[in-house]
A and B are shown apart, each in its own frame.
Chain A
Amino acid sequence: MHVFRSLLFLATTAMLIQGCAFSRGTLGDDIKTEAIDSIKKGVTTKTEVLTLLGAPDRVLPLNGRDVYQYYRYDGKVGSLLLIVVNFSRVSIKGDDLYVMLNQNGIVEDVISSKRTENLEFRFWPFGE
């Protein structure tokens, strides 16, 4: 009887679950932590920044200073396809790096954070 129940449960589950889907999309290259760590405030020059990270995605003028912005986006999609209902969840997070340069072209400040590190595939749309 126990085996029969297990088989019935498996059969029911198999009939209810049509399939799963996982997709991923990224925009931009990964901003390497080593490259960010090697930028020293008051020492690293604009040329060195460009050598380390390449051309910025955006250049912002900020109170007479140039700010180089680098960004990257990572998106993960998980879907659970049932007969009655389909659950999907799309999660996108971005990494941003700002390098502030003074008027002499020397790095004044670096602002960065990696939000994509904790990005997971999720299909349950409720809750957090």
Chain B
Amino acid sequence: MLRSHVRLAAPLLVVLLAALCSACNVVRFTLNNPLSPEDVAFIVPGQTTLPDVIERLGSPDSINNSNTGIVSVYRFLDMKYARVNFGWLARPWSPVDPDLIFSRTGFGTDAFQVFYDSNGVVIQHSFLRHVTDRPFHPYPF
């Protein structure tokens, strides 16, 4: 009997705790397909050509001139944002709505650049920044 009461009360307790607990926000923002070193491992300088790269990665976000040939750039973003409002804990006992917010944003902005010679063969390729996969982390300190 007691066990069945606990079973029935548990979800309600969760709801009650949820209502009293802090408000959390988890947001992710992605622009294009984030590329990893594994995704571009097929590119071999001196062998891979512009059509090969386009076939695997799609058309680049920009094409620019360089002294040796063209440069194609693939831009992407993987932003992670987490926010916790601990002020919610005091709301049942406070006459005002207090806020104590911890939040943190990780901008995983990166770009992948491929340099080609005048014949469209890859000379070199590199990531603009070396963004590591950041976790959702609201603690800002």
Contacts and interface: CB of A to CB of B under 8 A. Distances in A.
A8 B8 contact: yes
Nearest to B4: A1
Contact of A94 (B32, B80, B118): B32
The SS class assigned to the A binding surface is strand
Contact of B27 (A62, A88, A97, A115): A88
A93 interface: yes
Contacts of A121: none
A126 B30 CA distance: 12
A83 B15 contact: yes
A126 B81 CA distance: 11
A46 interface: no
A97 B18 contact: no
Given A8-B8, A113-B54, A89 B61 contact: no
A92 B31 CA distance: 5
Nearest to A90: B29
Interface string A92-128: 1110111000000000000111010000000001100
B78 to A, nearest CB: 10
B36 to A, nearest CB: 11
B28 to A, nearest CB: 4
Contact of A63 (B11, B25, B31, B118): B118
- Which 9 A-B residue pairings sit nearest by Cβ, starting from the closest? A113-B58, A125-B28, A85-B24, A113-B59, A96-B59, A90-B29, A12-B11, A84-B18, A88-B27
27 contacts: A8-B11, A12-B15, A15-B15, A62-B63, A62-B70, A63-B69, A67-B63, A69-B63, A83-B15, A84-B18, A84-B22, A87-B26, A88-B25, A89-B29, A91-B30, A92-B31, A92-B32, A93-B33, A96-B61, A98-B63, A112-B59, A115-B32, A115-B58, A125-B27, A125-B136, A126-B26, A126-B28
